[in-house]
Chain A
C-alpha cells in the first residue's frame, strides 16, 4: 500500500533558524512528490519534484528528492514567523492517487 511518512511531526524554532523537514515514501511507480504549506485553510503549493527535477529552490525554501532512498527534504533558511504552518508532503504514482503524509507542524517564535 502506498505510504508517505513525514518527520518530525512538530517543530518549534526561533526566527532566523534553519529547519529541515523530512518525507519518506513508498509508492507504486513513482511519478512526483509535492510539498504544500497549510495555514488556516487550503494547502498552497510549494514545489513539485519528479524524475526530471530533483532539486527546487524558491527564495528561502528549497527541496531535494532522493529517488534511490525514497525520500525528500524541505529546507527553510532564516525562518520567519510567517513560515509557521503545517507542511505537507504528497506523493503520486501512476495509479491516479496522490497520497499525503500526516504533515509537520512548524512554529517559528519571534
Chain B
C-alpha cells in the first residue's frame, strides 16, 4: 500500500458526460501528479501540483482540468468525454518538487461508452 488513495476505482459513463476523479496523497506529501495510461501507451504526464499551485502541465486536453485543495487532496475533472478518454488515470504523490520518488495510487479506470 503506497498510501495514495484514488477514488473511484472504476467508472463507466457515456460520451459527452463529465466525471471527477479524486486523489488523496500520502501523509506529508505536497506534490500530486496526474497521469493517463491508455492501452497502447505508457504513462502520459497530465499535470503536477505542489502545495496547491500548478507546477507543470503536460499534454492535458482543454476538456480536462485539475486542482489541489488546501488539504492537499486533488481532483481531476474530465468533461465532454469521448471514447478515446477511456484509460487508467493514475495519481502519484511525492514530498517535494525535485523529482524524487513518486508513490502511485491504484488508479481510476474510466470507461466511456
Contacts and interface: CB of A to CB of B under 8 A. Distances in A.
B51 to A, nearest CB: 12
Given A100-B35, A100-B43, A92 B104 contact: no
Contact of B101 (A45, A93, A95): A45
B101 A96 contact: no
Contacts of A96: 48, 50, 55-56, 97
Contacts of B41: 102
Interface residues of A, number: 22
B107 A97 contact: no
B58 A97 contact: yes
A98 B103 CA distance: 13
Interface residues of B, number: 25
A48 to B, nearest CB: 6
A32 B102 CA distance: 12
Given A42-B105, A96-B50, A100-B35, A31 B99 contact: yes
Contact of B106 (A31, A42, A93, A102): A42
B107 A41 contact: yes
Nearest to B57: A97
A42 B105 CA distance: 6
A38 B33 CA distance: 17
B42 A48 contact: no
A34 B45 contact: no
Given A41-B107, A42-B106, A45-B101, A99 B45 contact: yes
Interface of A: 31-32, 34, 41-45, 48, 88, 90, 92-93, 95-103
**Interchain residue pairs A-B with the least CB separation, the first 6:** A92-B99, A96-B56, A96-B55, A42-B104, A100-B43, A102-B42
